[in-house]
């Protein structure tokens, strides 16, 4: 099955077994082609990976050059098998793509925290400043004032 977490820039490989359609008929690579579709919440961010035969199922590969262009975050996938007159979703779900950490030359800054973690840490900083007697503090374009 598709890995639930991987890093952009890695070569990603996974295999799926043959399945069944809605009539409980076999869905194998003898009659069907299978494609994994991955989508991200940004225009143009998508991948379509055609599976190759592996036993009676399929093997999928996202090459390093392709995964290196994937944005970090949650990607959604649908794995569809198709033959003339029958199209069936075998698997669907989501994967987390982590940022690629490789670099050339001098590395820039990297903050591996999620946006929620960054927001939480900013709020904790404000609360500590208020606790230390600060009367006013700003986060982004918002200003917070202490009222006694």
CA distances from 105 to 58, 68, 96, 139 (A): 39, 18, 27, 33
What are the 10-residue block averages of pLDDT along the chain, 148 residues in total?
94 97 95 97 94 98 96 96 95 95 87 84 80 71 74
3-state secondary structure of 5: strand
DSSP-assigned states of every residue in 90-103: EEEEEEEEEPP---
> Is the Cα dihedral 124, 130, 131, 132 positive or negative?
positive
Question: Is-contact 2 62, C-beta < 8 A?
Answer: no
Tell me the H-state helices in the chain: 64-67, 115-131
- Residue 76 neighbours by CB under 8 Å, 6+ apart: 38, 39, 40, 92, 93, 94
3-state secondary structure of 88: strand
d(CA 93, CA 96): 11
Q: Which two tokens stand for residue 1?
A: 């099955």
CA distances from 42 to 38, 71, 130 (A): 12, 9, 38
- Predicted local distance difference test score (pLDDT) of residue 148: 66
pTM above 0.85, yes or no: no
- Predicted local distance difference test score (pLDDT) of residue 134: 67
d(CA 72, CA 2): 16
């Amino acid at each position: 099955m598709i890995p639930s977490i991987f890093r952009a820039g890695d070569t990603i490989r996974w295999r799926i077994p043959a399945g069944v359609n809605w009539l409980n008929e076999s869905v194998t690579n003898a009659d069907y082609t299978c494609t994994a579709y991955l989508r991200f919440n940004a225009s143009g961010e998508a991948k379509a990976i055609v599976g190759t035969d592996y036993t009676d199922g399929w093997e999928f590969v996202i090459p390093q050059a392709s995964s290196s262009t994937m944005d970090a975050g949650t990607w959604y996938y649908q794995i569809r098998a198709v033959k003339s007159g029958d199209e069936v979703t075998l698997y669907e779900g989501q994967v987390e793509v982590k940022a690629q950490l490789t670099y050339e030359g001098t590395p820039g800054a990297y903050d591996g925290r999620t946006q929620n973690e960054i927001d939480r840490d900013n709020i904790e900083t404000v609360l500590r400043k208020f606790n230390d007697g600060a009367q006013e503090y700003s986060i982004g374009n918002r200003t917070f004032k202490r009222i006694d």
